[in-house]
A and B are shown apart, each in its own frame.
Chain A
Amino acid sequence: MREINIYTSFFIMIIALAICIGSLKLSIYTPRGPGPGFMSFGTGGILFLLSFHLFLKSLFSRTEGGAKDAYPKNIKTTSLILSALMFYALFLEKLGFILDSFLVFSFLFAISRTMKWYASIACSLSLALGSYVLFSVFLGIGLPRGMLNFFR
């Protein structure tokens, strides 16, 4: 864990500095009490002290090992899922809920490779339609219709 702690605490130290610098642009203290930058400057400072503490502590600690878990094991799956989610977010309003969900879910089922292609397509179609009915019709949430706007 030592190695990991050194890396992460160093990274957090940089973030903390960035927060402090960013808050300097806002006024930190005004005659009438704390200004808009007060809280972020304070937390930035605390964050820096804490991460510096952790940094030093791990630098001088001698315990090794246990770091194996900390490295990603299956980057391919992870990044595929994340990009599917990004796609979902970006195209939700253009394609509409049903189409977008359908596309993303057939993709997710495809990478999980549990079903035949027609089964996974049927499954994601029914999922997309089913959740649309649940959220939009039953709970009355106005999900985007996108291209399918012409029907009600």
Chain B
Amino acid sequence: MTSSAFPARTSGRRFHFLFNRAWQALWVLPLPAWLLLFFAVPLGLLVAISFWSVVNYRLTPDATLSAWRYVLGLDFLWASFWRSYGLSMASAVAISLLAFPASYAMAFVAAPRQRLILLGLAIAPFFTSYLVRIYSWQVFLTEGGVISSVIQAFGGKGESLLNTYFALFLGHATLALPVVLIMQTIALANVDRTGISAAANLGARPGAILFRIILPAARPGLTLGLLFAFLLSYAEFVSASYLGGGTFQTLPILVTDLVRAGQQWPRAAVVSLLMIASLLITAFVTVLWAYREKG
């Protein structure tokens, strides 16, 4: 009797245990599934395509290094690479600096309810298409456009601002500023207030509080904001072609040129892989720095 009861209880416990495990697995499963579906497989495909060839405008599976040889042999490749990298890094730094006072005000001056409303307003531009927002910048920046008319009214020359770095930067900022605002605000809002009060009570000046208490504490969030601004600007194609007018030849423009001209998908894949590699290195270094232990 008893001997038969024991196995039943253990099997029930085991079932329970297994059920728990399965239940957990079910919830964890999306992570590897998504990673596989949206990261590993496309990346693998991109790597594979970079070894394919194009025969009569048709992408043909192959195992050739010709696309790699072609792209790495381009004499302007590294000039374009550093131009892309430098321009987007400059934009990322400028956007972060520009966003900081606003984020600071939202985190420390605004009441929580106001902060919510202000953050909502910061997200509002996402409700219109990015392409539309970029096109509308053209109306402001072009010769005889809104900005140049205003400058002319005050006696200036009022030349077109299109195809300048300023125009390109506006495009980058249109894309990245809201994201940076949100990330910075969250980072600053989460800084421990007791540290700030203690410093103030001990007579620290506002500058010292900012640089020695707030900035170090919010560093991970602020750095991630910078990183996101960089990622978004680096891969940006629309404002590079419509506001930069192709004057600033960046890698995303090179990718589209390679595809358009003779359907050179393998070469475009090589450039994309170069971009992904440089992004990964940048992201890795930045994250390491953001979370490094205070020395």
State whether these chains interact: no
Question: Which A positions have Cβ atoms within 8 angstroms of B?
Answer: none
Question: Which B positions have Cβ atoms within 8 angstroms of A?
Answer: none
